[in-house]
Chains A and B, each alone.
Chain A
Amino acid sequence: MLVHHNAYQLASFLLVNLPNHPHQTGDRFESKKTSAPTPVVQHPINDVPENPVSHEAMKTDLRAMMEKPVAQDPKLASIMDDVYKENARVGSGSTGDAVRHELKTGEKVGGRDHYQKANDSINRLNKWLNNNPSASKIDRMAAENVLKDLLNSKE
């Protein structure tokens, strides 16, 4: 049985296991037009919003809460180490959190340096994804989720 120790671990689990929205092209759900009615199974990963916009919004929120992913690739693990802070009490402890803080406080606390640091991390993750097309699916998914969270934090 899976036990999630906290919301951040649950967010990480859901992001790895959350299927694409049923209205999108996905490999886990069949199209509503062609599939026969299936019994509803009470499981958190099937409890996705009907509206695709809400679905994406939920994934964005989950990424912001996601704890540091464990990467097998040493270079990706090193990027994750630089991006995530241990023992954060609020949020995930990622550079994305610091950017959200900078933007909320009108950049009066630490300038825009976390924003720039986020750009650096985005660049490193993009390069890693381009240089490692055959890396494990879990590593690539982790890199993509952290990348998306960093991009979202700047909006």
Chain B
Amino acid sequence: MTDINKEETELSIKIFFDNAYSNFPELKTYIDNNLHQYEDEGYSRFYPDFQLIIDYLTEKILNSENEIIKKILDYIEFYLSKTPLKEVKNRIQVFFFDTIVNRLGNKGEVYIRKFISMLGPESRQLCKNEDLIYRAETAGLWAEGEFDKALSEFYKKNIELKKDK
């Protein structure tokens, strides 16, 4: 990534968080109240906000507070559909979707299915990208037979990438 891209990426991520906090004041309050207690626990040095948004959403999902979950996920979907930067999507894919899917998957299938059912197409695609990297089929994410087909394509692409390397 070039320095210009890095700057643009960081700026875009900052805008992503700033807009999220102005749209969801309760989320902002949650983050302000909880950030300090994570400092001693070595929480994310890169994006502590993502970790806290994940904590907040996990709590809401476990309590079935669907309205606020849907609103936040719709905001993320809207942002993903507007940003032209692949790096920004990658960050959201790895630091948000990878972690929240891992966490909810470990909490139970009912929670991960509920989460996946609320995602828009861009968000679903990022979750699928992660599934392919891990060769893991997340419940409720793929149509019948779709994962195996995508995985086969993914393997072919990987072989080409290794040859290039």
Contacts and interface: CB of A to CB of B under 8 A. Distances in A.
A126 B136 CA distance: 27
A120 interface: yes
Contact of B162 (A80, A104, A110, A126): A104
Q: Is the interface of A mostly helix, strand, loop or mixed?
A: helix
Interface residues of A, number: 40
A113 B106 contact: no
A128 to B, nearest CB: 7
Interface stretch (A16-24, A29-37, A87-95): A87-95
B46 to A, nearest CB: 6
Contacts of A81: 102-103, 106-107
A43 interface: no
A117 interface: yes
B29 to A, nearest CB: 22
Contacts of A38: none
Contact of A113 (B91, B107, B138): B91
B102 A116 contact: no
**Which bucket holds chain B's interface residue count?**
35 or more
Interface string A102-118: 00111011110110110
Contact of B42 (A84, A91, A93, A128): A128
B77 interface: no
Interface in A112-149: 113-114, 116-117, 119-120, 123-128, 131
Interface string A42-80: 000000000000000000000000001000000100101
10 contacts: A81-B106, A85-B101, A87-B139, A89-B136, A91-B134, A97-B133, A108-B164, A110-B133, A113-B95, A116-B46
Enumerate the 8 nearest inter-chain pairs by beta-carbon distance, A residue then B residue, closest first.
Answer: A127-B42, A113-B94, A86-B105, A106-B165, A81-B106, A123-B42, A88-B136, A89-B135
Interface of A: 68, 75, 78, 80-91, 93, 95, 97-98, 101, 104-106, 108-111, 113-114, 116-117, 119-120, 123-128, 131
